[in-house]
Structure 1
Amino acid sequence: MADGWPDKNIYDPARDKMFWWRNDPVLNQHHEHWHIVMPSGEHNGTSKDREGENFIYMHRHMLARYDANRWCLGMPLVDPLIDYVHPIPEAFYPPPFLSQSIDGRPDGVRVPFPARPPNQVFRDIVTMGDDNTETVFAVKDLTNILDEIEIWIDGKTDEVHPSKLNLTDDEATSLGGDIEVVLHNIGHNMLGYIMHPYTLHAVPSVLFGARAGTRDPLFWRWHRHIDNIYSKWQNLLGPRDFSDDMPPVTIREKDIILSFTDILLVVDKSGVNDTWVKYANEKFGGKYFDKDLSNHPMVTKTLQTKMKIRDYVWLEDGQDHEKIQHLYPRDWIWFIRAQNVSPKPVTLTFRIWIAPIDLIDKHAYWIEIDKFKRTLGPYEKTVVSQRCDHAVVIRKPAQKTTKQMDDTAITPWQKEKLDQFNFAQVAEKLFCDCGWPYNLIIPRGSKKGSTFKLFVYVSDGTNDLVRTDTQCGSTLLCGGEKWTDKVPDIKPFGYPFDRPFKDGSFYKTFQGMKNVAHTDITIKWVEDFPEV
């Protein structure tokens, strides 16, 4: 226990293949910020726009990334925690420097998060007073809640759900919110106190609250269960009909071009001013517009990542210092050749996704990387570009340095300042710190290289409201900046992967669509590369 960890024959972080990912401080900060920025409650009679739908999608987004990294390591996908009765084999030992404040303790006093021994079981949580006991959460209630939700999904009604759940997109928030505030929250509470269920005055585990839960493998098992429940409803909606979202634009597999930013800076340093649009149209467009550029010296089909070591200060805890490993990507630029085949200007939204090649037929395992808007003139052939560090999925500006990575920590003194505001005001103030970490923008891949499918869907951008600026925060994951702002995309969260595929096939679903292109890329974990 010299380093704070238990004996290595009990638990050794070095043998935990996903320890580096689950314990990335910026990942945990993103999850904490999201729940602050997108709370489930109402303020002045108004909830955050589409919060319940957003809740499901943001956690699905995290799950897809977690499973993609597991797949790269040859690990099985996350096993959903569907059993509320039998022992849970996984133990969990939180990092020794991780601590929490407890209500009723003197100011500044913090205590460690407790470990969870193996083979714990769901049990009723009971408060024990001088003369009586009171059951706060019961296992049978959790089971009943699950049954009630599944009955509702099946199109039936009861006292809990007197109104029928329709098979339409606009029901997503109703279902997502119901799953979140009842089944999800109660389950987290019960898992957080699973080691000592007989009093709520005991110290809970990381699964109670949003700050550190992603460190525990059980978090991912619980959320895969939650997502699978929602997927039952999505599956009933059936495959999506894209006939009303096929703008007059053509893109092809060879039109998807990737280039490393550091190499572009060598050949055209001034290109950074226009994201190399002029350069790309000279080298990839014009007389080269129809050429396959796979072997072009400026083009890559392999994205790269590496592991870095940094000195991490536990700013939210006891200010301890620790050397930690974290993932980091080699910066790249998207180039996409597109042709407007109509005599009128068209406004388009480019939606970029990736998925492990073995999982492409599972719609919930696709990872949204970016979406951005461009306008093409009549019959225009052009090359559009987008920086990966401006992606709508990430917290902006991109957190590349150690200082930037630590900027989003919610320290005790910051919490004191925020205490003067109501939760809606706090949500607005912290919006700019909400978003996926740049260092985790793509999965790590593997040493030999892992094959992913890269998919580009060009949708009608006329009225989808997708933001075109590079404002702070992530409008993909964190909703609108102000409390009453609408989500800046009228499409369902996860579009076009928000429904099951036709005949369970990715290829059949998008076959023959001119506004769609996809190609195989490799993500490779390497020793080093230039940073920009």
Structure 2
Amino acid sequence: MTVKDKQKEILTLFKGLTSLSHTPLPEAERDPRLHDVGILERGHLFSCFHEAHLHEAQELYELLWEAKDFSDFIHLCKQAREIVNEGLFVFAVSVAVLHRDDCHGVRVPPIQEIFPDRFIPAETINRALKADLQRGDQDVVSVEIEHTGNIIDPEFKLAYFREDIETNAHHWHWHLVYPANWRSDFFGKAKDRKGELFAYMHQQMCARYDCERLCTGLQRMAPFQNFEEELEGYAPHLVSLVSGAPYGTRSEGMHMHDVNDVDVLDLIRWRERILNAIHTGHVTDYNGKEVKLDEEHGIDILGSLIESSHDSMNKRYYGSLHNWSHVVIARIHDPDGRFMEAPGVMDDTTTSLRDPIFYRLHRFMDNIFQDYKHRLHPYTHDELDFPGIHILSTTVKSKVANVIHTTLKQDSLELHHGIPLKGSVKVKYEHLDHDQFDYSIVVDNKTGKDKHATARIFLAPKYDELGNRIILDEQRRMYIEMDKFRVDLHPGKNTITRSSDKSSVTITHVPTFDELEAGIGVGENDSEFCSCGWPSHMLVPRGTTRGMKFQLFVMLTDFEKDDVGGSSQAHLCSDALSYCGVKDEKYPDKRAMGFPFDRTITQRFPTQFSTHNMSFTDIRIQFVEAKHH
């Protein structure tokens, strides 16, 4: 069976899941292997933050992973589709497809086309359904997306970021590649530094969010601090077509309450225990043994504790701070279920980024990770230096040197694969985008030998809300990773040129349902990490119409010291390796994620901090209003 044939089989599993027609599979006809699934009723909203939901999803994806061959796998999937909850089915089948060896080269279709109702406001879906009924003989019907708020709410200025379709899809996809309850011993495949990657990927989301806040004239966010505080409101304007229920709205001034499975006091207790572990320098595992939070593994151990993944050293004691915080906030409007309201968007990885509280909650988590990092010594000159390597200049080459232009671009999302319609209906929307640019880095290699280096590129705002220069220790938490790549340096002068569209953070294009059906983007040699990666159109912050000053940081480190060894050069699924790692291999960088900005910096400004192998360059990001015809 060819990869393209397999792809077609896989696509049929994901079509029309919001359809109202469903005939349950009689018990007698079910494959006995599926007897432990089907607990979460169909029509309910599945959450991979909810312990019971996650456990059932794990049962299913492990069972699918163990299928004898591809046809047995498809047989089980087809039966499971008729038995299990719709959202749980998509999650579990997607995890299995991403990890089965006989599915190499096969892609999971975009989640925004499977469940468009999680990404498109209910008002727009309603207009699309009406337009479909009145379509006449049109091949394609188009509707414009509705706004979900207005300028009375200052947070509306950031709707373009929070509600970006592909950014939300990235978050869903990351949690497929790194499921919380992945059992390395069962699969025989370790997820290298999974806890650290959880901490880093979410820290980067917060850094990007704060950059965007400054771009739009807002203050940086105040982290969520206290479990009794009154929270800001949020109305998602989403209605689930699977459940028929709207995602819950949080009115201004509500605060967290106990839910059926967990108390707010539990969350407070877990936080205190994790902080106590950081302050004493060790965690206590299931057997009562003390495990040191050392420089190499400490952040990874803490990431697993806080997310509460299968790798948590002691879930009974340290609990599940991240996952249950999501659930408790999602149920804030109906904590004990007396009104039978659906949870809010924080319950779901495809929708949680839409809510401003997501970023404040993750900044609170990041503050815990930073508390640990503060206890490590700041990097010494020797740890930062690459003797004999001098960066002479860094330039951003674009229409105007050291100026990057951003704008809003139009795009569309096809609905008919996810919603039963008479024909093609597209929703038109706008998203942020930027002009393509190149980095040009001039380096003098004074060692007299060929050297292998890792180039690390980051970007951060230079000034705060009040126009004051941000000191380096504050700025370091706003540095967003732009790229990381290997480069060879010959003796003497070298000019490194690197295009922005090669970024190790982003994924260039996610093939649509229609493209996958036509065999586009399907194949054994596909390098992108199974569609995991930050969307390329969101690589660069928005900037301002006058042009906002950012600092571009470039650092060259010794590849011999960075190399993890043993990894093949032709990685499978490795496009966005900074945020997604490399499939079934070690994370391709020995240094801490976010190095050199992951630890306290005692120097106030770049001139005091930088070594010859670094450069800080002032650039401007200018937002240009799009002219629609």
The 3-state SS of whatever aligns with 1:327 is strand
Q: 1:149 to 1:385 in 2, by over 3 A?
A: same
Contact kept? 1:312, 1:322, Cα under 8 Å: yes
Residue 301 of structure 2 is aligned with which of 162, 168, 174? 174
Q: 1:2 to 1:37 in 2, by over 3 A?
A: closer
Q: Tell me whether 1:435 sits opposite 2:560 in the alignment.
A: no
Q: Tell me whether 1:308 sits opposite 2:442 in the alignment.
A: no
- Structure 2 equivalent of residue 209 of structure 1: 348
Q: Which amino acid aligns with 1:33?
A: H
Aligned-partner Cα distance in 1 for 2:360–2:219 = 12
Residue 163 of structure 1 is aligned with which of 267, 271, 290? 290
Q: 1:20 to 1:317 in 2, by over 3 A?
A: farther
Q: Which amino acid aligns with 1:478?
A: C
Q: 1:316 to 1:250 in 2, by over 3 A?
A: farther
Q: Which amino acid aligns with 2:164?
A: D
Contact kept? 1:167, 1:236, Cα under 8 Å: no
Residue 589 of structure 2 is aligned with which of 476, 489, 499? 489
Q: 1:474 to 1:11 in 2, by over 3 A?
A: closer
Aligned-partner Cα distance in 1 for 2:495–2:626 = 30
Moved more, 14-23 or 186-195: 14-23
Residue 209 of structure 2 is aligned with which of 54, 66, 71? 66
Aligned-partner Cα distance in 1 for 2:375–2:342 = 41
- Structure 1 equivalent of residue 385 of structure 2: 246
Q: Which amino acid aligns with 2:162?
A: R
Could you give the per-residue CA deviations for residues 337-382 of structure 1, whole angstroms, max 9, x where no partner exists? 11110122100111111100024522211111001111122x2312
Contact kept? 2:574, 2:582, Cα under 8 Å: no
Q: Which amino acid aligns with 1:68?
A: C
Contact kept? 1:157, 1:164, Cα under 8 Å: yes
The 3-state SS of whatever aligns with 1:154 is helix
- Structure 1 equivalent of residue 107 of structure 2: none
Aligned-partner Cα distance in 1 for 2:482–2:249 = 35
Contact kept? 1:26, 1:406, Cα under 8 Å: no
Moved more, 363-372 or 445-454: 363-372
Q: Which amino acid aligns with 1:72?
A: C
Q: Tell me whether 1:350 sits opposite 2:455 in the alignment.
A: yes
Q: 1:74 to 1:367 in 2, by over 3 A?
A: same
Residue 473 of structure 1 is aligned with which of 570, 575, 581? 575
Alpha-carbon distance, 1:463 to partner: 4.3
The 3-state SS of whatever aligns with 2:347 is coil
Aligned-partner Cα distance in 1 for 2:220–2:337 = 34
Q: How does 1:10-409 map to 2 (within 5 A)?
A: 11-12=149-150, 16-45=156-185, 47-88=190-231, 90-96=232-238, 99=240, 101=242, 110-126=244-260, 136-155=261-280, 162-181=289-308, 182-199=320-337, 202-252=341-391, 255-260=393-398, 300-314=401-415, 318=419, 321-358=426-463, 359=470, 361=472, 362=474, 363-377=476-490, 379-395=491-507, 398-399=508-509, 404=510, 406=512
Could you give the per-residue CA deviations for residues 446-489 of structure 1, whole angstroms, max 9, x where no partner exists? 0001000011111001242388779653111101212xx11111
The 3-state SS of whatever aligns with 1:243 is helix
Could you give the per-residue CA deviations for residues 426-450 of structure 1, whole angstroms, max 9, x where no partner exists? xx99932000110011101000010
Q: 1:410 to 1:249 in 2, by over 3 A?
A: farther
Q: Which amino acid aligns with 1:32?
A: W
Alpha-carbon distance, 1:67 to partner: 0.6
Q: 1:155 to 1:191 in 2, by over 3 A?
A: same
Aligned-partner Cα distance in 2 for 1:208–1:330 = 35
The 3-state SS of whatever aligns with 2:579 is coil
Q: Which amino acid aligns with 1:145?
A: W
Q: 1:245 to 1:505 in 2, by over 3 A?
A: closer
Alpha-carbon distance, 1:172 to partner: 1.2
Q: 1:166 to 1:159 in 2, by over 3 A?
A: closer
Aligned-partner Cα distance in 2 for 1:35–1:187 = 16
Instruction: Calculate percent identity across the aligned residue pairs.
Output: 28
Q: 1:315 to 1:246 in 2, by over 3 A?
A: farther
Q: Which amino acid aligns with 2:253?
A: N
The 3-state SS of whatever aligns with 1:18 is helix
Aligned-partner Cα distance in 1 for 2:254–2:366 = 23
Contact kept? 2:248, 2:330, Cα under 8 Å: no
Aligned-partner Cα distance in 2 for 1:475–1:2 = 35
Q: 1:85 to 1:3 in 2, by over 3 A?
A: same
Alpha-carbon distance, 1:196 to partner: 1.1
Aligned-partner Cα distance in 2 for 1:381–1:505 = 28
Could you give the per-residue CA deviations for residues 124-176 of structure 1, whole angstroms, max 9, x where no partner exists? 112xxxxxxxxx10011111011111111101668677525435132110011
Structure 1 unmatched runs, 5+: 103-109, 127-135, 264-298, 412-427
Alpha-carbon distance, 1:40 to partner: 2.7
Moved more, 471-480 or 75-84: 471-480
The 3-state SS of whatever aligns with 1:54 is helix
Kindly indicate whether structure 1 or structure 2 has the higher relative contact order, using CA contacts under 8 Å at least 6 residues apart: 1
The 3-state SS of whatever aligns with 1:173 is helix
Q: Which amino acid aligns with 2:258?
A: D
Contact kept? 2:432, 2:537, Cα under 8 Å: yes
Aligned-partner Cα distance in 1 for 2:458–2:602 = 18
Q: Which amino acid aligns with 1:176?
A: G
Q: How does 1:498-517 map to 2 (within 5 A)?
A: 498-510=598-610, 513-517=611-615
Q: 1:506 to 1:257 in 2, by over 3 A?
A: closer
Contact kept? 1:240, 1:499, Cα under 8 Å: yes
Give the alignment's TM-score, normalised by structure 2: 0.65
The 3-state SS of whatever aligns with 2:453 is strand
Contact kept? 2:445, 2:493, Cα under 8 Å: yes
Q: Tell me whether 1:459 sits opposite 2:557 in the alignment.
A: yes
Structure 2 unmatched runs, 5+: 1-120, 126-145, 309-319, 464-469, 518-525
Contact kept? 2:230, 2:254, Cα under 8 Å: yes
Give the alignment's TM-score, normalised by structure 1: 0.76
Q: 1:159 to 1:251 in 2, by over 3 A?
A: closer
Contact kept? 1:33, 1:430, Cα under 8 Å: no
Q: 1:405 to 1:324 in 2, by over 3 A?
A: farther
Aligned-partner Cα distance in 1 for 2:396–2:527 = 36
Moved more, 170-179 or 149-158: 149-158
Q: Which amino acid aligns with 1:140?
A: L
Could you give the per-residue CA deviations for residues 46-90 of structure 1, whole angstroms, max 9, x where no partner exists? 6411111000100111111111010111201111111211321x1
Moved more, 75-84 or 239-248: 239-248
Could you give the per-residue CA deviations for residues 222-248 of structure 1, whole angstroms, max 9, x where no partner exists? 111111111111111131124045324
Aligned-partner Cα distance in 1 for 2:274–2:122 = 47
Which structure features the higher share of helix residues? 2
